[in-house]
Chain A
Amino acid sequence: MRQIFNALLKYKNTSLFLGLLFISFLIVNQRSFYHKSVFSAIGLGISSNLYGVSKGISDYFNLKKINADLVKENNKLKALEIIYFQNQILKQKTLDTFNFEVTSAKIIKNSFNKANNYLIINKGYEDGVMEDMGVISTDGVIGIVNETRAHHSSVISILHQEIKINVSFKKNGAYGSLVWPGIHPKKMILDDISIINSVSVGDTIVTGGMSAYFPFGIPIGVVSKFVQPKTEGYYQIEVDLFSNLTQKEFAYVIKNKDLDEIKKLTGDVSK
């Protein structure tokens, strides 16, 4: 203990300088948006590389389970392929009119226990991933791309209190927005559903076509509980997600081919 104090006294100027320098960088980070973005880009670069290494090690031990999953998915795809060849001409037409492109990616960092959660995926702008693209998994929505580097991107999870996803009821198309209250990683709140629509427990919720991020109709979850208010005009609905966001390995990035046009129309090109 005494030696530590002696060392601190001996290098008091250096340690004071380093301490104040650290405080200065915190202040700079607070005061300037430009510096903040540079810092966060550096941080993303470092953390994505570190998580990549640790993920590589832990993946090695999960190979068996992943193989089993892949075999299962291959079987499913094989069946689909057979059907596809049967309807090839019809499918091609559908693909041409479909406005979204899909890129697969791997999640190398996932978080779900904070109030605002982010993920990192292993595809960046050199793979065609750009900001504001939607990210989905095999059974639901994961989030929206926030920032991209050459080979990595950070994704705002739907488990983020400031993100709202446009969703609608599968049965009648009534749409509202889905937000996360920040407690349980499978429970979300559905807002803005007017009481003129009928709601019952067990109704399926899918993504709505009103947002530019996701195509219409990706299943998200079911209604687990709802309260019908007497005076106000909107239901309070609780939704159980299908997908378990705490155990995700792979993701698909969705690119809306018309995003630029839509942004121009809404006057949001500056972003």
Chain B
Amino acid sequence: MFQSNTKSFLQFILLILLQVFLLNNVNLFGFLNPYIYLLFLITYRFDNNPTLLILIGFLMGFLLDLLSHGAGGHMIASLAIAFLRPYIIQFSFGVNSDISMGMVRGTSLSNRLLYLVLMVFIHHLILFIVVYFNLKSISIIFKYTLITSIFSFILLWISLGFFKTRHD
């Protein structure tokens, strides 16, 4: 237990540093930054305390906004995705939602894909809504959400592969 907590803590710090100092400077096509820090919220064990995850999500977004001088988009988006995660798990895995490492093994590929797509898309949608915060820019919000979601998805899928081999 202690070991897994330490591991999670290191993962948390590592992902934030990676996001702020490496991926926020990618600027693909001038504006695209994939958001790798979602990996923590995605791979958090399904049987761990969901209340704790809400606090962690809030803290993670808050630190990201502090370090990257954001207004608060990451804070609200990761808080919301941490709160919505149990419902997304329920929706995408159905009866298999009690498999604790369901996002990397033990479930069918389509379920895992659905889970990842929903997590990434909802998170990015909330993020861009908060950043633009204006009904008039709804088209640009959807455009950025879609394109950034695709890149984040690819990156997260690859990282999940590493996760699987490391834990096996």
Indicate if B3 sits at the interface (CB-CB under 8 A). Answer: no
CB under 8 Å from chain B, chain A span 180-200: none
Indicate if A27 sits at the interface (CB-CB under 8 A). Answer: yes
Selected from A14, A24, A32, the residue in CB contact (under 8 A) with B79 is A24
CA distance A49 to B134 in the complex (A): 21
CA distance A159 to B10 in the complex (A): 54
CA distance A47 to B100 in the complex (A): 49
Question: Smallest Cβ distance from A218 to chain B, in angstroms?
Answer: 39
- Given the interface pairs A34-B133, A35-B133, A38-B134, the reply to whether A20 lies near B58 with Cβ below 8 Å is yes
On whether the beta carbons of B130 and A28 are closer than 8 Å, the reply is: yes
Pick from B19-27, B48-56, B106-114, B155-163 the stretch touching chain A. Answer: B48-56
Indicate if A66 sits at the interface (CB-CB under 8 A). Answer: no
Indicate if A13 sits at the interface (CB-CB under 8 A). Answer: yes
CB under 8 Å from chain B, chain A span 12-52: 12-14, 16-17, 20-21, 24-25, 27-28, 31-32, 34-35, 38
Q: Among the interface residues B55, B72, B134, which one has the most CB atoms of the partner chain A within 10 A?
A: B72
B79 neighbours in A (Cβ, 8 Å): 17, 20-21, 24
- Given the interface pairs A20-B54, A34-B133, A38-B134, the reply to whether A13 lies near B72 with Cβ below 8 Å is no
A32 neighbours in B (Cβ, 8 Å): 71-72
Question: Smallest Cβ distance from B163 to chain A, in angstroms?
Answer: 26
Question: Smallest Cβ distance from B18 to chain A, in angstroms?
Answer: 23
Indicate if B83 sits at the interface (CB-CB under 8 A). Answer: yes
Interface string of B40-75 (1 = CB under 8 A from A): 000000000011001100100110010000011001
Which DSSP category, helix, strand, loop or mixed, fits chain B's interface?
Answer: helix
A28 neighbours in B (Cβ, 8 Å): 71-72, 75-76, 130
On whether the beta carbons of B54 and A24 are closer than 8 Å, the reply is: no
- Given the interface pairs A13-B51, A16-B55, A38-B134, the reply to whether A24 lies near B72 with Cβ below 8 Å is yes
Indicate if B80 sits at the interface (CB-CB under 8 A). Answer: yes
Question: Smallest Cβ distance from B72 to chain A, in angstroms?
Answer: 4
CA distance A271 to B54 in the complex (A): 41
On whether the beta carbons of B75 and A24 are closer than 8 Å, the reply is: yes
Selected from A14, A16, A21, A34, the residue in CB contact (under 8 A) with B71 is A34
CA distance A38 to B71 in the complex (A): 13
CA distance A38 to B50 in the complex (A): 33
Selected from B50, B133, B134, the residue in CB contact (under 8 A) with A13 is B50
CA distance A20 to B80 in the complex (A): 10
A34 neighbours in B (Cβ, 8 Å): 71, 133
CA distance A48 to B51 in the complex (A): 39
CA distance A35 to B62 in the complex (A): 16
Question: Smallest Cβ distance from B133 to chain A, in angstroms?
Answer: 6
Selected from B51, B55, B65, B80, the residue in CB contact (under 8 A) with A21 is B80
Chain B residues near A (Cβ < 8 Å): 50-51, 54-55, 58, 61-62, 65, 71-72, 75-76, 79-80, 83, 86, 130, 133-134
27 contacts between A and B (CB under 8 A): A12-B51, A13-B54, A13-B86, A16-B54, A16-B55, A17-B79, A20-B55, A20-B58, A21-B76, A21-B80, A24-B58, A24-B61, A24-B75, A24-B76, A25-B76, A27-B62, A27-B72, A27-B75, A28-B71, A31-B72, A32-B72, A34-B71, A34-B133, A35-B71, A35-B72, A35-B133, A38-B133
Top-7 shortest CB links A-B: A32-B71, A28-B72, A17-B83, A20-B58, A24-B76, A24-B75, A31-B71
